[in-house]
Amino acid sequence: MRVRVFFHDKCFDGAAAAAVFSRFYRERIRAQVEFQFTGLVHRAGKLFDETQFDGDENAIVDFKYSSSPKVTWWFDHHESAFLTAEDAEDYERSQSNRKFYDPDFTSCTKFLATIAEQRFGFDRRPLAELIEWADIIDGALYPDAKTAVEVAQPAMKLTMVIETAPHPGFVPRLIELFASTPLAEIVEVPWVAERIPVLMERHRQSIEILRSRTECSDGTIFFDITDRELEGYNKFIPYYLNPGCTYSVGLSKSSFRTKVAVGSNPWAPAPPTINLAKVCERYGGGGHARVGAISFEPQQTEQARRAAAEIVSELRRAGK
């Protein structure tokens, strides 16, 4: 029996959710199973390659809904979980006891663990540390920006490792460890540990780059780092550098997309009031009420820049 698990790639919550799913499936659904893990990223155009749904069962965790009949399991918590109204209708019609959605959960990992426990009798206690950290990281539940930027805890180091994974097979290896190994032990695994010093230095450099690039006006930060290879920067750096701002809009670039990241400061003096998922949806993106993103083709830098400028203007008008 082969189960292919699709997960939100380059994301701690996505990897953790895939690990919880694999352990739950093996313990409560079928013991003799081979898992294959495939990362999915938000990009312009088609998100799913239907030919990849080639498992005896196919699961998607922490990513948008697919109406393909080949997808047998689905768990998500993003407000923008459905690409189209037809997808949302398909989910409602299916009434499946293997497809679950709840945007009120902070992390997909905790949502999945809760459903697995309540519906299937799964014992989540051995993965309590992983579940707790997925909630902290995906929900930005740090006490302050300094803690978020210091990257002191094993889970935060692993987040940095995941977000800068060097090749498609790297995170699947981590997922297998997540399902059975304490986080403090994982950061000591040689092929993980060797990446951390380099990434910490890159992190320190990114703080200085963003220090020179960020501008804050009327409660909104803007920065453009499309000329630097920094898409995996720590998203809390802008608030660490500009603690009085409420929102941030950042432009970055990678090999497969130009990205507009739109976020809100979890520690802002003035709490955010604008639903950023709805803002991003107008440009084909999405996310959560407090954080979202839009993906453009790599060559569409100017289109991304225009979208970012429009969003910055909207947020700054609201902040006046």
Question: What's the pLDDT at 174?
Answer: 98
Token digits for 147?
């803690």
Q: Write the CA distances from 184 to 30, 126, 130, 153, integer angstroms.
A: 29, 15, 11, 8
Give all domains of the chain, ordered by start, each with its CATH number.
Answer: 2-191 (3.90.1640), 213-319 (3.10.310.30)
pLDDT band at 254; cut points 50, 70, 90:
confident
The pTM of this model reads 0.89
The rounded distance, in Å, linking the Cα atoms of 52 and 158 is 27
Q: How many CB atoms lie within 10 A of CB 102?
A: 13
Span 177-220, pLDDT tens digits: 999 999 999 999 999 999 999 999 999 999 999 999 999 999 99
Span 34-84, pLDDT tens digits: 999 999 987 766 778 889 999 999 999 999 999 999 999 999 999 999 989
The rounded distance, in Å, linking the Cα atoms of 176 and 169 is 11
**Mean pLDDT over the full length of the chain:** 95
